[in-house]
Structure 1
Amino acid sequence: MSDNKMKYTIDSNMQFPMIEIALETGEFAYIQRGSMVYHNSAVTLNSELNAKGSGIGKLLKAAGRAMTSGESVFITKASSNSDEGLIALAPSTPGQVMALELGQNQYRLNDGAFLALDGSAQYSMVRQSIGRAFFGGQGGLFVMTTEGVGTLLVNAFGSIKKISLENQEITIDNAHVVAWSETLDYDIHLENGFVQSIGTGEGIVNHFQGTGEVYVQSLNIETFAGILKNYIVTDGKSGSSGNALGGIFDALT
């Protein structure tokens, strides 16, 4: 009999992880759009409106969340019609995948951290303050918050480290935050004011306080994107490295 509890394996022999999820008859999982690598004939993929409710109200909620958080209007649901269902996923960025068990502990997620959630759990979008929405990358005016009992798979850019807090506080670069316990208070702000933040190179940070867990990723995708800009050609122009490489190519040809 199906218990709808996620049964998954993470291939530790691969440099970049691939996750296989086994589904029994009637079981389903919500997965990140575009994360499917392969599935067998027992599994069917369908798009659902990314909101609770029904009818036009559900559509308006999904559209509103998409406009205010950057999240898709739709979410992908993988369902199985036999006990042999199998689907494989891979995250959109190279890095570690980790399972977080939901129930007594619930989590909030940064943008891009969600990979999959089993059908016995769910998530909602909780409204943030204007200040948090302005500074943070956590879904704009809304932040993804888990509910129920089940398994959540999160992915990161690089490796994941868990930081446990016991009535403590810590400041973490916003771009390194993956997920954190719902029990923690958090504030998003510039590290040392506008001028000092420019001088030190440390910009928007998250300040967590209380008892719970924070999961951080070792790499910063914003910094990485900035490095790549030097090698991307736009309107016939490229960064300094691109110009140097282009000059060498021209000389050789």
Structure 2
Amino acid sequence: MSDQRMAYQIDSNMQFPLVEIALEAGESVYMQRGSMVYHTPGIQLNTRLNGRGSGIGKVLGALGRSMTSGESVFITQAVSESANGRLALAPSMPGQVIALELGEKQYRLNDGAFLALDGSAQYRMERQSVGRAFFGGQGGFFVMTTEGQGTLLANSFGSIKKLELHGDSMTIDNAHVVAWSTSLDYDIHLENGFLQSMGTGEGVVNTFRGYGDIYVQSLNIETFSQVIGNHLVTGGGDDGASGSILDLF
């Protein structure tokens, strides 16, 4: 499209959003693997290596990012072969979907926040410092960083709130961070040292400084998984009174 912006519609009438994207002939969009809900016959889905470059270097780069950040080796590309292609996506977690317009502003994304990126924009996996990689959930040694002009769709676990920094700083629980402006400096660390962090239950936090935007999610997938785990019976006792929750079905 001439304005390099994705034509999309987020269905606000649904409790958990569905995003429908309109693609003209030759237009494409990169999307999270497994996020496709439906598409028209003119849409072709292709599997691509999740990397840039060519040849063996691209393969090794995709494998390296997968091992260090947990990101998939592959990414799905949808290409429209007709003038009125339609593609619907849904995130893997219950939450909100937002559109971030790229150009003057660029963003870094936390793990699991990427839903789709139109074909006119790009992303790169930016290497992080050892300290950030050790503490953070934002991609391990690599973090997804956008480039170019276009539209990025990001999803969250729960609702999303936008925070704006104007030369000040903000400390946020690392698991609540969705995306942040590349103009911001950030430091991933323990809140108050190891013992204090374990005592307060806050653990790893991210302190942002400078000028830019931060998008945070209301729910914490790590805390949620712990709550769910406390209600699951996975062990087996000698008396036969306990076992897997699956034994109930």
Do they superpose with TM above 0.5?
A: yes
Note the C-alpha offset of 1:55: 1.3
SS of 2:147 mapped into structure 1: strand
Give distance in 1, aligned partners of 2:83 and 2:125: 32
- State the match for 1:70 in structure 2: 70
Q: Distance in 2 between matches of 1:170 and 1:184?
A: 11
What is the correspondence of 1:198-209 to structure 2 with a 5 Å cutoff?
198-209=198-209
Cα RMSD of the aligned pairs, angstroms, is 2.0
Q: How does 1:1-253 map to 2 (within 5 A)?
A: 5-236=5-236
Distance 2:164 2:5 in 1: 26
C-alpha offsets along residues 166-191 of structure 1, whole Å, 9 cap, x if unaligned?
A: 00100000000000000000000000
After TM superposition, the score normalised by the length of structure 1 is 0.92
Residue 107 (structure 1) shift: 0.2
Q: Distance in 2 between matches of 1:8 and 1:233?
A: 43
Query: 1-side partners of 2:236 and 2:89: how far apart?
Result: 37
Q: Secondary structure at the match of 1:161?
A: strand
Q: Tell me the TM-score normalized by structure 2.
A: 0.94
Q: Secondary structure at the match of 1:86?
A: strand
Partner SS for 1:57: helix
2-structure distance, mates of 1:22, 1:195: 51
Runs of 4+ in structure 1 deviating by more than 4 angstroms, as ranges, are 1-4
After TM superposition, give the deviation of residue 231 of structure 1 in Å. 2.4
CA distance in 1 between counterparts of 2:8 and 2:225 reads 31
Q: Unmatched 5+ residue regions in structure 1?
A: none
Distance (whole Å) between structure 2 residues aligned to residue 151 and residue 4 of structure 1: 8
* Contact in 2 for aligned 1:127/1:142 (Cα 8 Å): yes
Write the deviation string for residues 85-131 of structure 1: whole angstroms up to 9, x where unpaired. Answer: 11100000000000000000000000000000000001000100111
Q: Which runs of 5+ in 2 are unaligned?
A: none
Q: Distance in 1 between matches of 2:133 and 2:202?
A: 19
